[in-house]
Structure 1
Amino acid sequence: MTDHKVSLPAKLINGGVAGLVGVTCVFPIDLAKTRLQNQQGARIYSGMLDCLVKTVRTEGYFGMYRGAAVNLTLVTPEKAIKLAANDIFRQKLSKDGKLPLWGEILAGCGAGTCQVVVTTPMEMLKIQLQDAGRLAAQKSATTPTATPEPAPSLVAPQASQSTPRPRPSATNITLELLRTRGLAGLYRGAGATLLRDVPFSMIYFPLFANLNTLGRSDPGCPGDELKRAPFLHSFMSGCIAGSVAAVAVTPLDVIKTRLQTLQKGEGEDSYRGILDCIRRVLTREGPTAFLKGATCRALVIAPLFGIAQGVYFLGVGEELLSLLG
């Protein structure tokens, strides 16, 4: 492939297509991760496979894709911003096609910061939809004698025991949050999202760049963005870098998930902020709770970023723009 600088529109198209393909492939595992991370007291699911089996049994096959519409709608700008911003920062920080390690980390930090604008509302809505099935399963499994006071909902008043709770929709949740809390309601947990995504990008992008360099016929410098490795090597580099970064920031992802979950089950904690969440989880569930969903997260992020980087480096955007031009 001829080496060339890729335009910003092409980068955005590449990132968007990469995100759509990746999310479609791994969304059921992401749903299992959210439900496992939100379990506090009653264990509805014993693990990822048990969660997926019970989801299909009670909600049908498409139950595994609860919240997928929101993710697929917003993942295009989210992944486009993340991948394109990292490339732009790397180009700005490079000199003569060379980028030191500190520059790679700084570029990843910038990319992670930029993406939060889209990531936070996307995660907010996705988590509510993904966790609805767990709450329903917990409610049906609760015996009549169990009477712990449920934590208050931030979305709508608690339904009576005799009235079935309607299934939430992204539109209803969005309108209710905007009505009651304004635009800030969609950005609940933005600090925790930033706390997760910035370290993730600071680990992921430098690690991917250095692994990807090993697949080039002329490796040159890891920071040289004008050379590309074969598709398969970029895919594997994305998988490895993604899984390492995902596991490293899993405790931060647990905190973010707990803070952004608006509807709580019976006896489950609500949190006033990041520090309050850390304290309560440590007190009630112990330090191992911060690793809940780590396997699921690695299984989500590894193929997601493997596919994303592979598709990104295929140059779909350049081909599309050349056809339109």
Structure 2
Amino acid sequence: MTLNSTSMGFDSCKVEKEKEAVEEDMEARVQGVSSHGGVVDGGARKFLQPLHHQQQPPPPLPPPSPSVQQQAEIGTVPQLLAGGIAGAFSKTCTAPLARLTILMQVQGMHADAAALSNTSIWREGLRIVNEEGFRAFWKGNLVTIAHRLPYSSVNFYAYERYRSLLKSIPGLENHRRSASADILVHFVGGGLAGMTAASVAYPLDLVRTRLAAQRSTIYYQGIWHALRTICRDESFFGLYKGLGATLLGVGPSIAISFSVYETLRSYWHSQRPDDSPIMVSLACGSLSGIASSTATFPLDLVRRRKQLEGVAGQARVYKTGLFGTFGHILRKEGPRGLYRGILPEYYKVVPGVGIVFMTYETLKRLLSNGPLNG
């Protein structure tokens, strides 16, 4: 009887460790969906991972099974490659909804509020098919994919540097084992890394918006043509129109995603502890993405409109700064104008999370034994 009890305890402990490993790995994936096209992806992913270890230090456990050990042995290069491909594939699958979001966000720039009362997702989708063809749903998607590589690389590198710098601060150096200090380091480091990566890769984000916003009249022929034309017509600083709204949205987006995800996850586990960690992470990740999109969508809308200022020599619509632009939209379109295009943004959150997770897990298994996993 004693031997059987010991064996059962050993097996239970082993299963629990595998479950925690999968759950913690999931936490690093599901936060990869945001309303800013990935602006805060890396920061949110990185500070979620250590939280579980700080809250519940695990007791000594037997060696993990080969599948769990294989997960832990994946190297940095395969991890970045798998994450980049998964993100690009997810963006490609949800590109039609992303373009609808952009088109609806910028509709109020050169049209009266009364003329926008009849707009809808289906009407705009039919217009794209009839006037531009079905392939037009993917306008700007190539530059979105190109944006992923520099953004992810800079985000990863900057996060490591900021984290090391923050840990060397005298006030935090004496509280390395404190859960609150650790959360602060990951939160601030993730936010700073997201802002740095967004600044470096921002010209590609602006080009993506302008390519996606083009309708029947084509002014920019491609990525390089758009970059050269913007620099020629609007100077080099024209590549950074709307950057202020982007940076202002990084912190709130990370904070909301983190808070909602952790709150929902803890409550779910307390009510239904036997549910699959994968299902819990997908559901909580989707809901946190929706909450973050709702809170920061006005900033994203202002960013898109500032990015389109002066396109093809058109007169400027918003001649004031960030807050003046908010006031202009409220006066002309009312509070609903700040949420123009929110529905297609909602629709792409859940499939985006699922596609990223499934693609990442598949590629991780394929690359774990590859030559890059050194």
TM-score with structure 1 setting the length: 0.72
Q: Give, in angstroms, the shift of residue 60 of structure 1.
A: 0.8
Q: Residue 315 and residue 86 in structure 1: after superposition, are their counterparts in 2 closer, same or farther (change >3 A)? A: farther
**Residue identity in the other structure for 2:103:** R
Aligned counterparts of 2:73 and 2:179: Cα–Cα separation in 1? 14
**Residue identity in the other structure for 1:51:** E
User: Which residue number in structure 2 is paired with residue 244 of structure 1?
Assistant: 291
**The one of 51, 55, 72 aligned to 1:4:** 72
Three-state SS of the structure 1 residue aligned to 2:241 is coil
Three-state SS of the structure 1 residue aligned to 2:332 is helix
User: Which residue number in structure 1 is paired with residue 96 of structure 2?
Assistant: 28
User: Which residue number in structure 1 is paired with residue 136 of structure 2?
Assistant: 63
Aligned counterparts of 1:90 and 1:50: Cα–Cα separation in 2? 47
Aligned counterparts of 2:212 and 2:289: Cα–Cα separation in 1? 22
Q: Residue 103 and residue 171 in structure 1: after superposition, are their counterparts in 2 closer, same or farther (change >3 A)? A: same
1:268-283 correspondence runs (5 A): 269-283=317-331
User: Which residue number in structure 2 is paired with residue 235 of structure 1?
Assistant: 282
Aligned counterparts of 2:262 and 2:159: Cα–Cα separation in 1? 11
1:112-161 Cα offsets, whole Å, 9 max, x none, are 3233135522321111111111xx4xxxxxxxxxxxxxxxxxxxxxxxxx
Query: Contact conserved, 1:108 with 1:204, CA < 8 A, in 2?
Result: no
Aligned counterparts of 1:265 and 1:205: Cα–Cα separation in 2? 41
**The one of 233, 244, 247 aligned to 1:194:** 247
1:248-259 correspondence runs (5 A): 248-259=295-306
Aligned counterparts of 2:282 and 2:291: Cα–Cα separation in 1? 14
Residue 308 of structure 2 is aligned to residue 308 of structure 1? no
Aligned counterparts of 1:187 and 1:266: Cα–Cα separation in 2? 18
1:196-222 Cα offsets, whole Å, 9 max, x none, are 233212222454456567888xx9xxx
Aligned counterparts of 1:98 and 1:238: Cα–Cα separation in 2? 22
Three-state SS of the structure 2 residue aligned to 1:39 is coil
Aligned counterparts of 1:112 and 1:322: Cα–Cα separation in 2? 31
1:138-193 Cα offsets, whole Å, 9 max, x none, are xxxxxxxxxxxxxxxxxxxxxxxxxx765643222111123344543222211111
1:86-101 correspondence runs (5 A): none
Identity percentage of aligned residues: 21
Segments of structure 1 that go 5 or more residues without pairing to the other structure are 137-163, 220-228
Query: Contact conserved, 2:231 with 2:238, CA < 8 A, in 1?
Result: yes
**The one of 197, 206, 211 aligned to 1:115:** 197
Q: Residue 56 and residue 268 in structure 1: after superposition, are their counterparts in 2 closer, same or farther (change >3 A)? A: farther
User: Which residue number in structure 1 is paired with residue 224 of structure 2?
Assistant: 171
Segments of structure 2 that go 5 or more residues without pairing to the other structure are 1-67, 168-174
**Residue identity in the other structure for 1:74:** H
1:145-160 correspondence runs (5 A): none
Q: CA RMSD in A?
A: 3.8
1:261-317 Cα offsets, whole Å, 9 max, x none, are 1338989823442122112112222222111112222223443344335544x2735
Residue 19 of structure 2 is aligned to residue 19 of structure 1? no
User: Which residue number in structure 1 is paired with residue 63 of structure 2?
Assistant: none
Q: Give, in angstroms, the shift of residue 28 of structure 1.
A: 0.6
**Residue identity in the other structure for 1:126:** R
Aligned counterparts of 1:48 and 1:267: Cα–Cα separation in 2? 28
**Residue identity in the other structure for 1:204:** S
Q: Residue 87 and residue 210 in structure 1: after superposition, are their counterparts in 2 closer, same or farther (change >3 A)? A: farther
Q: Residue 98 and residue 200 in structure 1: after superposition, are their counterparts in 2 closer, same or farther (change >3 A)? A: same
**Residue identity in the other structure for 2:104:** L
User: Which residue number in structure 2 is paired with residue 290 of structure 1?
Assistant: 338
Query: Contact conserved, 2:301 with 2:339, CA < 8 A, in 1?
Result: yes
Query: Contact conserved, 1:120 with 1:188, CA < 8 A, in 2?
Result: no
Three-state SS of the structure 1 residue aligned to 2:370 is helix
Q: Residue 14 and residue 230 in structure 1: after superposition, are their counterparts in 2 closer, same or farther (change >3 A)? A: farther
Aligned counterparts of 2:351 and 2:176: Cα–Cα separation in 1? 32
User: Which residue number in structure 1 is paired with residue 34 of structure 2?
Assistant: none
TM-score with structure 2 setting the length: 0.63
Aligned counterparts of 2:209 and 2:143: Cα–Cα separation in 1? 10
Query: Contact conserved, 1:246 with 1:301, CA < 8 A, in 2?
Result: no
1:120-131 correspondence runs (5 A): 120-131=202-213
Query: Contact conserved, 2:260 with 2:288, CA < 8 A, in 1?
Result: yes
Q: Residue 49 and residue 121 in structure 1: after superposition, are their counterparts in 2 closer, same or farther (change >3 A)? A: same
Moved more, 183-192 or 257-266: 257-266
**Residue identity in the other structure for 2:141:** A
Aligned counterparts of 2:176 and 2:218: Cα–Cα separation in 1? 58
**Structure number with larger C-alpha Rg:** 2
User: Which residue number in structure 2 is paired with residue 48 of structure 1?
Assistant: 121
